[in-house]
Amino acid sequence: MTKHVIVGGGPVATNAIETIRQFDSGASQITLVCDEPAHSRMALPYWLSGQIPREQTHTGDDAYFQKLSVDALIGTRANSLDVAGKTLSLDNGQTLEFDKLLIATGASPVALSIPGADLPGVQSLWTLDHTDRLLAATQSLERPRVLMIGAGFIGFIVLNAMHKRGWALTVVEREAHVLPRMLDADAAAIVESWLTNKGIQLHCGTSVQSIAAADDGALRVELDDSSTVIVDRVIVAVGITPNLELVQGTGIDVKDGIVVNQHMQTSVADVYAGGDVAQGPTLYGGDPEIHSIQPTAVDHGRVAGANMAGQDVSYPGSLSMNILDTCGLQNASFGNWADHAAEALTISNTDGHVYRKLLWSDDEITGAVFVGQANDLGMLTDVGMVKGIMQTRTALGPWKTYLKENSFDIRRAYVATGVAQKLAGMTLLGRPSQTRQFRFQGAKVSNQPTAAHANFVSTKAD
C-alpha cells in the first residue's frame, strides 16, 4: 500500500487529499501532519468581522478525515526530513515513513525589527490564535483604535474586516502609496481617497520608528515624519516568508521558495510541494514564482494529489491575481499588471472612483487593473471575463481596436472570441471537478435561483 504523507492543513493539503481519493478510492494510506486545525486562512477575516463563527473557518474535522481514511495528526509539527531514507520526524517523537511526500507548510508573517515590536498589544494577524487574541483584547473596548503597519493585500483584507466592526483605523505604509504590489499609483490614489472619506487615517511614504507603552495601557507609535499615534492595538502586516525550515539541508532545490515543476514535483523524487511555500510555473512562462493566493494553492493541491496518485497531470501555470474589497471599493489586478513595456489602455474617473487599465502584448491582454464600486465592477462581471480571456490566452484580434473605443463592453469581445466555450472545455485534471466534501456542520448545498437568474436557468425545453 502506497504511503502518502502531507505536511500542512491549508487548501493545498485538503485538495490533495480529496484528489488522491478521487483516483485511488481509498487504496493508499494518507497521513496528515498539521500544527493547526485544517482551515482556510482567507476565512479568518470573516470571523474577525463577526460574519461567521471560528468553527466555520475550518475545512475539515474528525468525521471528514475518517470518511476519507486519513490519519490526521492535528497539533503535531514536522521537525526534520530525511529524503534518502524517506522518513519524517515529528515533534511528538514519532517517525513516519513515506512513499510520496507533499510539503504544504505555507508561510509566516515577517517580523518587525524596531523598538517595542515585542510589546503586548503588537501582533500579526495570520493564524487562528492571532485572530482569537485580537478579538479577546478588544472585546471590552467600545471602539478599538488599531494601527496597521503595512498596506498590502493581506493587510487590507484584515483592514476591511476591522472596518466592518466600526473600529478606528490608522494605516502606515513605507511605500509611496497603498497596495504597492497590486495597484499602480493612479489606481492607488483612488483607493486612498475612498479610504480617507471613510475616516481611515493613512500615512504613506513613512515608517514606524518605535512603539512604546502609554500610561493608560495604550500604545504610543512614533513615525519617522515626527508624528505620534496613540492606539489600543498594533497589527503588523509587512509581508510573509515561506516556511522552508523543513527542507533546509535536505538537498531539495530552494530559491525564494521550494522549486517545483509542472507536476508540482521538487528536485527530489517523490517529494512534492505546493502553495505559499512553492515556487512554481506561471501562466505566461518565465522563471518560477511564488503566488501566495488561494486559487493557486487549490490548483497546486489538486495537481500534486493527482500525480501522487499515479496520474500524469501537468499544471499550465498560475495566473497572478488579487481581488480585494477595500471598505466597499472593489479592486483587482491580474497577470503582468505592472509591465511598463506593455501597451496600456487606461480609463480613470477619480470623482467616480473608477479606474481600468488593460495591458497588451500584441493583441493579447497580459495584465489588468480594476478599481470601482460594485455597480461599476463586480456586478458587470467584467473582472471575471478579463480573467477568463487571460486564462485562455485568447488573442482578441480586431476586438482590441473595439475595446479601445468601448472599454466598458468587455462582454462583446468575450463572447465573440469564444472565451466561454474555451473555459467550458478546460479541466485541470482531465476530468470534471468535484465539489469539496466538507461542509460546516454537515450543511447541504442548495441552489435557490432568484428572478435575476431566470434567463440563465430557464433555457431548457419543458
Statement: the pTM of the whole predicted model exceeds 0.75: yes
Quick: pLDDT tens for 352-364: 999 999 999 999 9
Residues 6+ apart with CB under 8 A from 384: none
Average pLDDT over the chain, rounded to an integer: 94
Rounded average pLDDT over 107-115: 95
Judged against a pLDDT cut of 60, whether residue 5 lies above it is answered with yes
User: Could you tell me which residue, 250 or 377, shows the higher pLDDT?
Assistant: 250
Rounded average pLDDT over 204-219: 94
C-alpha distances in angstroms, 42 versus 26, 291, 323, 387? 29, 14, 12, 20
C-alpha distances in angstroms, 88 versus 84, 250, 275, 396, 461? 11, 12, 20, 50, 57
Confidence of residue 462 (pLDDT cuts 50, 70, 90): very low
Rounded average pLDDT over 150-161: 95
pLDDT at 246: 98
Q: Residue 253 has which C-alpha cell?
A: 532545490
> Where are the strands (E) in 216-297, listed by range?
219-223, 228-231, 233-236, 240-242, 258-259, 271-273, 278-279
Q: Residue 190 has which C-alpha cell?
A: 483612488
Quick: pLDDT tens for 410-425: 999 999 999 999 999 9
pLDDT at 423: 93
Instruction: Domains for the chain: give ranges and CATH numbers.
Output: 3-108+241-308 (3.50.50.60), 122-238 (3.50.50.60), 328-424 (3.30.390.30)
Query: Are 158 and 146 within 8 A, CB to CB?
Result: no
Confidence of residue 456 (pLDDT cuts 50, 70, 90): low
Q: Write down the residue that cell numbers 502586516 correspond to.
A: 237
How far apart are the C-alpha atoms of 225 and 230, rounded to whole Å?
A: 15
Residues 6+ apart with CB under 8 A from 17: 6, 30, 32, 68, 70, 305
Query: Are 126 and 298 within 8 A, CB to CB?
Result: no
Judged against a pLDDT cut of 80, whether residue 453 lies above it is answered with no
Quick: pLDDT tens for 382-400: 899 999 999 999 999 999 9
| Least trusted range by pLDDT, from 140-154, 243-257, 373-387 | 373-387
User: Three-state DSSP class for 379?
Assistant: helix
Judged against a pLDDT cut of 80, whether residue 460 lies above it is answered with no
Q: What's CA 455's distance to the chain center, in Å?
A: 33
Name beta bridge partners: 219: 213, 231
